[in-house]
């Protein structure tokens, strides 16, 4: 079940839109908690270029071999400046065409390139991120999102999967775009209120979920060995992203089993750190672009790789999460399983 939660500046649109229930295609619904889930985690995809298509081809091959029920899209879905309407042609060129042969839903979040004016959006001055939400509701209207593949029912939202009385996992999509602005931003009262509103929502979702696994996914990392670095010090700038850091450390750390993020265009499976309890963070931001790791020692990592395209494949059961990181060669599209690890309940 998808549970929609948005904030004030988009409340008028959401007030007239239905709550959507979307079951993961191909999942086993027979046991409690239900079966297992197989999914892709991929971020920073929306170029429409060769890199995105090479990774999409690799995902198609892996899913044909291993099976896939859905994907988590970690933001920057439409480079470089987002879309201008709910029917923008970029939805076609940067999402529908690259993933045409992947027949499962993508649960999406907003990145900074999707909503470059997110702080203004809090004051009702822009709707670029909101158009990505709107696109979800175009299913069956003869335009865009024809098969409902794109799923972003709110700027932040909850999905319980499988959609059954006793789901295996609760996925919480979060919105950091208004909270991770430039270093010279004077954080406004509306930004702080949005942090608090989203934080209270997270607390409620964790308290209400009886799923075996709790997983949070968003665009911005809490910790990263890439060039953007850690929240609260993004880009080496003091306090950049501090509101987002507050959101995660106060309302996610120690409550979620996993935090998935993108933003840095590389692959990192980080070790849990004391500040964030037993929550593991995995960065999968190499879905179309690749960059080097800036400081491999900044945060302890189980495995990490830069300068390569790639994605994460996860198989989740009641007791075990098994993850495989696939790298994709940017020159010829060759893909391989580069690393695998497991987490146990």
pTM for this prediction: 0.89
Say how many Å lie between the first and final Cα of the chain, rounded: 24
The alpha carbons of the chain give a radius of gyration, in whole angstroms, of 18
**What domain count does the chain have?**
1
Is residue 70 helix, strand or coil? strand
254: left (phi over 0), alpha (psi -120 to 50) or beta: left
Phi, psi of 92 (to 5 degrees): -70, -50
CATH number of the domain within which 15 lies: 3.60.21.10
CA–CA distance, 232 with 132 (Å, rounded to integer): 27
pLDDT in tens, the chain (345 residues): 555 544 333 332 232 222 222 233 333 333 334 589 999 999 999 999 999 999 999 999 999 999 999 999 999 999 999 999 888 999 999 999 999 999 999 999 999 999 887 766 666 555 567 899 999 987 655 456 667 899 999 999 999 999 888 899 999 999 999 999 765 557 888 899 999 999 999 999 999 999 999 999 999 999 999 999 999 999 999 899 999 999 999 999 999 999 999 999 999 999 999 999 999 999 999 999 999 999 999 999 999 999 999 999 999 999 999 999 999 999 999 999 999 999 999
Alpha-carbon distances of 261 from 10, 88, 97, 179, 253, rounded to whole Å: 24, 26, 24, 15, 14
Looking up tokens 């297992």, which residue turns up?
36
**Which residues constitute the domain of residue 208?**
2-344
Can you spell out the DSSP letters for 189-240?
HHHHHHHHHHHHHHHHHHHH---SEEEEE-SS-SS-SSTT-STTSGGG-TTT
């Amino acid at each position: 079940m998808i549970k929609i939660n948005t904030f004030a500046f988009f409340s008028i649109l959401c007030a007239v839109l239905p709550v959507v229930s979307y079951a993961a295609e191909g999942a086993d619904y027979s046991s409690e908690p239900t079966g297992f889930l197989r999914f892709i985690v991929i971020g920073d995809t929306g170029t429409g270029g060769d890199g995105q298509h090479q990774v999409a081809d690799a995902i198609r091959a892996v899913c044909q071999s291993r099976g896939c029920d859905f994907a988590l899209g970690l933001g920057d879905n439409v480079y470089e400046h987002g879309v201008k309407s709910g029917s923008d042609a970029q939805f076609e060129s940067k999402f529908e065409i690259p993933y045409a042969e992947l027949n499962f839903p993508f649960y999406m979040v907003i990145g900074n390139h999707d909503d470059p004016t997110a702080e203004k959006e809090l004051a009702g001055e822009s709707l670029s991120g909101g158009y990505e939400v709107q696109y979800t509701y175009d299913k069956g209207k003869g335009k865009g999102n024809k098969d409902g593949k794109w799923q972003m029912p709110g700027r932040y939202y909850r999905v319980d999967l499988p959609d059954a009385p006793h789901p295996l996992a609760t996925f919480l999509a979060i919105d950091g775009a208004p909270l991770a602005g430039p270093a010279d931003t004077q954080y406004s009262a509306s930004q702080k209120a949005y942090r608090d509103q989203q934080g209270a929502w997270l607390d409620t979702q964790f308290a209400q979920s009886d799923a075996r696994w709790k997983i949070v996914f968003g665009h911005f990392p809490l910790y990263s060995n890439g060039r953007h670095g850690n929240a609260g010090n993004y880009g080496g700038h003091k306090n950049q992203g501090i509101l987002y850091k507050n959101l995660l450390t106060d309302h996610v750390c120690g409550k979620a089993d996993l935090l998935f993020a993108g933003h840095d265009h590389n692959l990192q499976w980080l070790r849990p750190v004391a500040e964030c309890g037993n929550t593991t963070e995995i960065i999968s931001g190499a879905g179309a672009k690749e960059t080097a790791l800036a400081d491999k020692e900044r945060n302890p990592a189980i495995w990490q790789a830069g300068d390569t395209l790639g994605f994460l494949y996860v198989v989740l059961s009641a007791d075990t999460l098994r993850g495989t990181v696939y790298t994709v060669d940017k020159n010829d599209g060759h893909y391989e399983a580069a690393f695998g690890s497991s987490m146990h309940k």
